[in-house]
């Protein structure tokens, strides 16, 4: 299983990103803890996790202050990392998009655009577009290289 995941936190100085290791995450609480840790280290709010697996699907998870995490998944999968994100979006047929497409609208990523990216772009390209529109494209590029 090949995947890429990174957490981005918005700080007063701009966005700060760090690669996220999800291989040991067993449930959504582990993912949330990882995101909260990034927020504490950077004093960032919001915190956004971008993940993609095997050029098959991508997920975006957002955490604001003490709220519960919200997610959008381009194609729900029941195996590998997909099972972690499925916990956030509920029971949906395998392969369908699910979650909150408007998750990043306040950061400039329109819900329709996000849905279109999920249908038409490779996951890595879709996440780069999301990162650029949300304002942390350079951080994404730095971590992706």
Mean pLDDT of 104-118: 95
Asked which of 21-25, 41-45, 100-104, 121-125 is least confident by mean pLDDT, the reply is 41-45
Confidence class for position 6, pLDDT limits 50, 70, 90? very high
User: Angle at Cα 63 formed by Cα 72 and Cα 21, nearest 5°?
Assistant: 80
Q: Is 20 helix (H, G, I), strand (E, B) or coil?
A: coil
Interstrand relation of 70-73 and 57-63 (parallel, antiparallel or unpaired): antiparallel
Q: Could you give the percent of the chain with pLDDT greater than 70? A: 97
Which pLDDT score is estimated for 1? Answer: 58
pLDDT tens per residue across span 45-84:
899 999 999 899 999 999 998 788 999 999 999 888 888 8
C-alpha neighbours within 13 Å on the C-beta side of residue 103 = 28
> DSSP character for 10?
E
Q: Are 123 and 56 in contact (CB under 8 A)?
A: yes
What does the buried/exposed string (b/e) look like for 73-91 if buried means 16 or more CB atoms within 10 Å of the residue's CB?
bbbbbeebbbebbbebbee
Rounded to whole angstroms, the Cα distance separating 135 from 133 reads 5
Q: What is the pTM of this model?
A: 0.93
């Amino acid at each position: 299983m090949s995947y890429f995941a990174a957490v981005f936190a918005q700080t007063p100085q701009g966005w700060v990103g760090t690669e996220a290791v999800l291989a040991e995450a067993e449930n959504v609480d582990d993912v949330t803890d990882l995101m909260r840790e990034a927020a504490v280290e950077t004093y960032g709010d919001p915190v956004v996790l971008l993940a993609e697996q095997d050029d098959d699907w991508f997920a975006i998870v957002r955490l604001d202050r003490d709220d519960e995490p919200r997610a959008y998944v381009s194609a729900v999968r029941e195996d590998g990392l997909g099972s972690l994100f499925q916990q956030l979006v509920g029971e949906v047929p395998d392969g369908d998009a699910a979650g909150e497409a408007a998750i990043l609208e306040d950061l400039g990523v329109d819900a329709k655009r996000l849905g279109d990216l999920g249908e038409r772009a490779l996951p890595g390209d879709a996440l780069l577009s999301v990162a650029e529109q949300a304002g942390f494209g350079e951080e994404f590029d730095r971590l992706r290289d």
